[in-house]
Chain A
């Protein structure tokens, strides 16, 4: 029987895209880093990222697929001009079950000429069930090699206070659930402000995910959140489209958009 995992791990099956994380500076913005995103092969159920990663978790093959995603992402990133910082999603279970993972990431980065200090590992977590000591060691190793740590989907599920304490992230990526519509929702604004304040105390920066509406920029600014990501700024772009978009031009500082963009104007 043909299994979906074989389709996912087939040569050149995974699709890589990059989505800018922008730093908002007044009414201007500049690229802060690129999140490397992976989609499964076309014409399979894994073409939807949510389905692919749920399948991967249920098959308990997160380390295998995370390795493949990062390897392909690093190769794609190596073709980009300049030296943009890069973030890669990694399951907490991978860090907790694959002791060789941190060294392997650094080795793969070295092989394509990417300094580990440009890399942020975004921890996505869905359920416990790994070795805590291995997880802690992986984080220490990654940090000692120069990589940074981000906690993804903050506010949802297992990305909770315990994970903030356990991972000491440099970035907390606040889920779009709390960002979208914040301009008209006092409860969401309260969460933004609370997470921003907590992050400052923990020495982390907040990235607001899923920003699609210019009206949601004001509550971000009010909360002191200056990093953001979403369709308002740029959709996930292939490496050639990203190069053509203008995002990677040196010292590019661009006016913040007045409305959502299909792609960043060159």
Chain B
């Protein structure tokens, strides 16, 4: 069973996306802050991380920090970055740091979940 971490500072997104992904038979942890996600990643191995680019931090691109951390500490973990406002440069930077996909937050959650499952299939 795949173990997935969802990181977003919006409670509603965490809940709804968690429901979609759990419906696919995965177990889900959620985090609302960069440091909370980092603490989980330091102690738990995930198959996939789905992270918002902006996490109410100072520079507004905390999701990029998470991508870097995942690539460093658990290279086999897949990463999806979600962005509502990110520029093309920001998206390219996410890919450069090792994100497997950058998706727009307006994408229906069912499609995000489909992307996640396809990535996990690739990882299997």
Contacts and interface: CB of A to CB of B under 8 A. Distances in A.
Interface of A: 1-4, 45, 48, 50-52, 54-55, 58-59
B32 to A, nearest CB: 6
Contacts of A54: 38-39, 42-43
A55 B35 contact: yes
| Interface of chain A, main secondary structure | helix
A1 B29 CA distance: 18
Interface of B: 9, 11, 29, 31-33, 35-36, 38-40, 42-44, 56
Given A45-B36, A54-B43, 18 more contacts: A1-B32, A1-B33, A1-B56, A2-B11, A2-B32, A3-B32, A4-B35, A45-B29, A45-B39, A50-B42, A50-B43, A51-B40, A54-B42, A55-B35, A55-B36, A55-B39, A58-B39, A59-B35
Contacts of A2: 11, 32
B36 A4 contact: yes
Nearest to A51: B39
Contacts of B32: 1-4
B43 A3 contact: no
A4 B9 CA distance: 11
23 contacts: A1-B32, A2-B32, A3-B32, A3-B33, A4-B32, A4-B36, A45-B31, A45-B39, A51-B39, A51-B40, A51-B42, A51-B43, A51-B44, A52-B39, A54-B38, A54-B39, A54-B42, A54-B43, A55-B35, A55-B38, A58-B35, A58-B38, A59-B35
